A = this chain, B = another copy of it.
Amino acid sequence: MQKTPLYITAAQGNLTSRPPVWMMRQAGRYLPEYRELRKQYNFKQMMSTPDLATEVTLQPIRRFQMDAAILFSDILVIPESLGCKFDFIESKGPVFETPIRTVKDIENLNSDHSAQNIDYVYQAIRQLKPQLNALNTPLVGFAGAPFTVASYMIEGGSSASLKQTKLLMVQNPALLHQLLQKITVTTINYLNAQIENGVEALQLFDTWAGLLAWDDFKNLCFPYIKTIIQSLNNPNRIPITVFCKNTSAYMELLAQTGCDVISVDWTVNLPQLLKSNRSFAVQGNLDPHWLYAPHNILKDKIQLLLAETKPYQGYIFNLGHGLMPDISPDAVKCVVDTIKSS
């Protein structure tokens, strides 16, 4: 029988001898071996072809031996499952054919919410399991939280202000809730299938929730995240993490969702949070811009962080947001090695 992986121990709120380390977007464009594959396949092919998704998920684990692997996929598989057509345009991100703005748009979505039509994700999970088991590295599955997924569907792509989503919020909140409800049901089925196929942890990304006023977060994000967490068929109680930006503002609500781990952005005073009386484990929160620093400065920064976060109780090292494509793999190695040798 294998030892419980460090990531799981920490996610369950326990003490660890050092913080487990992984990084959001650790599988991606900053890796030359990823860019090599991307020459032959576009992003959508990469995530929807199980062999490619498997390979890309494993790339950072081979190179850096992180303490957790995160499935290479995208939060927009849920709109895809619901029948939305979109494409990923280089340097622009996702672009939807028809943004969702009216009752008619919502009626046109698939009525099947089983998430069975995105089974390439489950196949990738099944392919990854034996290889990751051999390394005793847990696999983290994920989904977008309903508000963030809805915002892409409404905006028709990325948006810095979520103007269309907020217009719907103030002008037709019932319609917005109807959409959030459909996404929630599909996401529950999607995550249940991930659990059945073997993920050992889950993370919900509510990346754009940080643009909402506190009471709008309470109305549009909190209840749906809570419903998902409490509806999962999770017999082994695999740990569930919730991530959003501007985490400080919503911390109290996030803690009430029933999640095991809150993944905090870099604006959070991490040592203070770790020392506080809390009912959740904490993941985060280095600003990835520090990975542009000379390596001696980066190493000092990590060592200071390790000193300030001791003892490591329910603490998983991560970034405050994802790695940028122009970050050097050597910087990632410097961070992982400094933590692993602490």
Contact = CB atoms under 8 A, between A and B. Distances in A.
Nearest to A293: B170
Interface stretch (A59-67, A86-94, A209-217): A209-217
B320 A213 contact: yes
Contact of A214 (B210, B215, B270): B270
Contacts of A217: 267
A177 to B, nearest CB: 15
B212 A267 contact: yes
Q: How many copies does the complex hold?
A: 2
Interface residues of A, number: 34
Given A249-B268, A268-B249, A292 B212 contact: no
A246 interface: yes
Contact of A249 (B169, B214, B248): B248
Interface string A53-80: 0000000000000000000000000000
A169 B289 CA distance: 9
Nearest to A308: B215
A246 B251 CA distance: 13
A183 to B, nearest CB: 21
Residue of A217, A266, A297 with most partner-chain B CB within 10 A: A266
Given A160-B160, A248-B248, A171 B213 contact: no
A217 B267 CA distance: 8
Nearest to A171: B293
A166 interface: yes
Interface string A281-298: 000011101101110011
B170 A290 contact: yes
A285 B249 CA distance: 13
B285 A213 contact: yes
A85 interface: no
B170 A297 contact: yes
B269 A214 contact: yes
A224 interface: no
A242 B55 CA distance: 49
A222 interface: no
A213 B266 contact: yes
A286 B214 CA distance: 10
B249 A287 contact: no
Contacts of A249: 246, 248-249, 267-269
A280 interface: no
Interface string A197-215: 0000000000000101111
A37 interface: no
Interface of A: 160, 163, 166-167, 169-171, 210, 212-217, 246, 248-250, 266-270, 285-287, 289-290, 292-294, 297-298, 320
Please list the 8 inter-chain residue pairs (A to B) with the smallest Cβ-Cβ separation, ordered nearest first.
A249-B267, A170-B293, A213-B266, A166-B289, A248-B249, A213-B287, A248-B248, A214-B269
Given A170-B297, A214-B268, 14 more contacts: A160-B160, A166-B292, A169-B289, A210-B267, A212-B267, A213-B266, A214-B269, A214-B270, A216-B287, A246-B246, A246-B248, A246-B249, A246-B267, A249-B269
9 contacts: A166-B292, A212-B266, A213-B286, A214-B268, A214-B270, A246-B248, A248-B249, A249-B249, A250-B267
